[in-house]
Amino acid sequence: MQLNSSDLLTIIPVIFISMAIHEAMHAYTAHWLGDTTAHDMGRLTLNPLKHIDIMTTVMLPVVLILLGYPPIFIAKPVPFNPENVKYREFGAALIGIAGPLTNLFMAAIASLVYHFASLPSAANNFLLIFVIINVAFFVFNMIPFPPLDGSRLLYAFAPEPVQKVMYAIERMGLMAILLFFIVLVPLIGPVITFLDNSILKFLLG
């Protein structure tokens, strides 16, 4: 599924809407599991401005474009205190996967509307872009590499030595993300593309 520059006016709003819902679900899940950190910091909201990070949401896409990679928009991580979360590491894993699973759920609902509702072509195009972007959010964020959401699931099951390595990577911040794109993406890119296309084919036919 390819998007073109003429879709830009739709792509940007869809990215920010999907990102805001994704991050709000992290915050809601943390609140539901007993931690109020995100709520206290104003992150339990659908306002996308509250979830934008100048480095990862704005600067990172620019750097990736300059390096010849597709732009990726990463929101400001939703804070939570693991000591306050029910079920500890498993609770943290639930918080981590809540965002991408919400993207997948939204993509599934949008695909049903796309298939079964009689809508104008502009609305169908919006739904198509909405599905494509939310599937991409799901697949990308479920990669188990810190600080991506999938790493929270890996933390819950990984042995302590692996967890220590993951903590060290996570502390690298933006540098870890850049290394991920430069070193790992060329290796796992075909897998990411296969998963993305397989889910899109299932949802859109």
Three-state helix/strand/coil letters over the chain: CCCCHHHHHHHHHHHHHHHHHHHHHHHHHHHHCCCCHHHHCCCCCCCHHHHCCHHHHHHHHHHHHHCCCCCCCCCCCCCCCHHHCCCHHHHHHHHHHHHHHHHHHHHHHHHHHHHHCCCCHHHHHHHHHHHHHHHHHHHHHCCCCCCCCHHHHHHHHCCHHHHHHHHHHHCCCHHHHHHHHHHHHHHHHHHHHHHHHHHHHHHHC
Instruction: Look at residue 76 in the predicted model and tell me its pLDDT.
Output: 86
The pLDDT > 90 percentage for the chain reads: 55
Instruction: Look at residue 74 in the predicted model and tell me its pLDDT.
Output: 79
pLDDT at 170 over 70: yes
pLDDT (mean) for 101-120: 96
Measured over all CA atoms, what is the biggest interatomic distance in the chain, rounded to whole angstroms?
54
Instruction: Give which of 23, 28, 52, 48 is closest to 39, Cα–Cα.
Output: 28
pLDDT (mean) for 104-120: 95
pLDDT at 56 over 90: no
**Where does the pLDDT of residue 9 fall: very low under 50, low under 70, confident under 90, or very high at 90 and above?**
confident
Instruction: Look at residue 186 in the predicted model and tell me its pLDDT.
Output: 83
Per-residue pLDDT tens digits for 177-200: 778 877 888 888 899 999 999 999
- Does the pTM exceed 0.75? yes
pLDDT at 24 over 90: yes
Instruction: Look at residue 199 in the predicted model and tell me its pLDDT.
Output: 97
Contact criterion met (CB below 8 Å) for 63 and 182? no
The pLDDT > 70 percentage for the chain reads: 93
